[in-house]
Amino acid sequence: MNDNLVRNALVVLALFRAGSAGPVLVALAAGLFIFPYMMLSASAGQLADGRDKARLIRALKLTELILMSIAGLGFLLDSLPVLVAVLVGLGVQASLFSPLKYGILPDHLQSEELLAGNGVIEATTFIAILVGTIAGGWLILLPYGGLTIAAVGLSVSTVGLLTAMPIPPAPPYAEAAFDWHLVGVTVKLLRQARSNKAIWRAVIGISWFWTLSAALVAELPVVAKVTLTAGSEVVTLLLTMSTLGIGIGSLLCARVLRGKVSVRHLPLALLGISLFTRDFASSCYQAQGLASVPAIMGSPLGWRVLLDLGLLSICGGFYSVPLYTMIQQQADPTWRARTIAANNVVNAAFMLGGSAVMASLAAIGTSAINILFVTAMLNLLVALWSLRFLQTSS
């Protein structure tokens, strides 16, 4: 929540106060936040596998509290450089935290509980992203908006630190020496992950999910503004529907599968994503003129738009949660966090590549609707590829 609170507030400040440099700062903000995942995930995995995960979580939540204090100073001084530095710090903190939050689950949950645990993390993560994004853009425009964001951020990080205090110890399974050669360690981790076919396919599958998510989140504002000719309230409605869908799918997954990890449903989930993405794009094209929340809510076509978006997101939740659980279960416990770190590196690479492809399509004049059509077709090919899972997994 805090990551997106600060990032979206910074985006709004950049657009309103940085003049022609605003769009450049917006693009830079996105890159600066995701870049640490590429560079530091391997080191994060080493730390998580070689230290008590509970102690590291508390240390990182304390770091977040300090960063939000500095963010408050940046908002007080109205200093974009300070806020950019805080955003980089939050990116570093998030990249170090990710292997811990997923790596600690198998230490404290039974095997049959892992699907539910991952479902809760997936659902609450997307909800937190949505709340932080909306709050950051809204609060910064209020009188004393910067100080309000600082107060909210400090409150959230304080609650995070307090709730991290009673986490039971999670000592390492084996001592692990720390290697400071970031590139070499990253290459080694990727090779280790590739040595297990099931894990590597799960990593690629998760990376595709995050690429799809990034594409959808990037195109929703464009669809709302250009296709529906709507304002920010419709963007918020679409983002909310997408987030709730992923949350519902993530939580329902454990109930439907009854705690047993299975990949037999993955092609069906991907097929659902493609079908509903295509119909979402088609219904949005037909819904031109539904430019407000009341217009959408009062029209059968508007409800079709929302239903398509919700269903494709539910399919996304069903698709991603078992893959995370598979990695946790099949990874060597002494390498579990580092395997998750390798997954983060590949996720970041896929997201950056996907962003580059979408930017290229937009640059040659491809509409958001057509980009969604292309995304649905590419996802259908991935669904066919995912049938290979069924040959080696159950």
The type of residue at 230 is: A
Q: Residues 349-394: pLDDT tens digits?
A: 888 888 778 778 877 888 888 889 989 999 988 888 877 665 555 4
Residues 130, 207 share a domain: no
Q: What is the mean pLDDT of residues 77-99?
A: 87
| 181 three-state secondary structure | coil
Q: What pLDDT was estimated at residue 213? A: 86
Cβ contacts of 232 within 8 Å, gap of 6 or more: 137
Domain that holds residue 13: 1-166
- Answer yes or no: is 153 within a domain: yes
pLDDT score of 22 more than 70: no
Residues 267, 206 share a domain: yes
CA distance 263 to 201: 11
Residues 206, 143 share a domain: no
Q: Residues 164-190: pLDDT tens digits?
A: 999 999 988 776 666 667 777 788 888
- The answer to whether the Cα torsion of 23, 28, 29, 31 is positive or negative is positive
Contact between 56 and 45 (Cβ < 8 Å) = no
CA distance 275 to 260: 27
- pLDDT band for 260, please (50, 70, 90 cuts): confident
More confident of the two residues 8 and 307: 307
Residues 135, 206 share a domain: no
- Answer yes or no: is 180 within a domain: no
Question: Which two three-digit tokens encode residue 201?
Answer: 């396919």
Q: Which helix (H) or strand (E) holds 26?
A: helix 22-50
Residues 275, 155 share a domain: no
Residues 249, 159 share a domain: no
Percentage of the chain exceeding pLDDT 70:
92
Residues 217, 336 share a domain: yes
Residues 202, 301 share a domain: yes
Residues 94, 224 share a domain: no
- Answer yes or no: is 111 within a domain: yes
Q: What is the mean pLDDT of residues 96-111?
A: 89
User: Distances from the Cα of 71 to the Cαs of 2, 158, 255, in angstroms?
Assistant: 10, 14, 41
Q: What pLDDT was estimated at residue 27? A: 60
pLDDT score of 318 more than 60: yes
pLDDT score of 57 more than 90: yes
Residue where a domain terminates, one of 119, 148, 166: 166
- Alpha-carbon torsion, ordered 305, 318, 268, 218, to 10 deg: 40
| 79 three-state secondary structure | coil
pLDDT score of 272 more than 90: yes
- Answer yes or no: is 191 within a domain: no
**DSSP for 99-165, written as a single string:** HHHHHSHHHHS-GGGHHHHHHHHHHHHHHHHHHHHHHHHHHTTSTTHHHHHHHHHHHHHHHHHHHHT
Q: What is the mean pLDDT of residues 100-123?
A: 89
Residue where a domain terminates, one of 127, 145, 166: 166
Residues 384, 235 share a domain: yes
Q: Which residue has the tokens 């094209």?
A: 285
- Answer yes or no: is 192 within a domain: no
- pLDDT band for 98, please (50, 70, 90 cuts): confident
Cβ contacts of 13 within 8 Å, gap of 6 or more: 80, 83, 140
Q: What is the mean pLDDT of residues 264-279?
A: 90
CA distance 215 to 221: 11
Q: What pLDDT was estimated at residue 388? A: 67
- pLDDT band for 26, please (50, 70, 90 cuts): low
Q: Residues 203-254: pLDDT tens digits?
A: 999 999 988 888 887 788 888 888 888 877 888 888 889 889 998 988 888 7
- Answer yes or no: is 132 within a domain: yes
Q: What pLDDT was estimated at residue 394? A: 46
- pLDDT band for 19, please (50, 70, 90 cuts): low
Residues 218, 148 share a domain: no
- Answer yes or no: is 131 within a domain: yes
pLDDT score of 14 more than 80: no
Domain at 315, CATH number: 1.20.1250.20
| 185 three-state secondary structure | helix
pLDDT score of 47 more than 50: yes
259: left (phi over 0), alpha (psi -120 to 50) or beta: left
pLDDT score of 119 more than 70: yes
CA distance 281 to 344: 29
Residues 340, 275 share a domain: yes
pLDDT score of 288 more than 90: no
CA distance 26 to 35: 14
Q: What pLDDT was estimated at residue 179? A: 67
345 CA to centre of own chain = 13
**Total domain count, the chain:** 2
Average pLDDT, the chain: 85
Q: What pLDDT was estimated at residue 137? A: 81
Q: What is the mean pLDDT of residues 113-131?
A: 89
Q: What pLDDT was estimated at residue 335? A: 84
Percentage of the chain exceeding pLDDT 90:
22
Contact between 82 and 202 (Cβ < 8 Å) = no
Q: What pLDDT was estimated at residue 20? A: 55
- Answer yes or no: is 178 within a domain: no
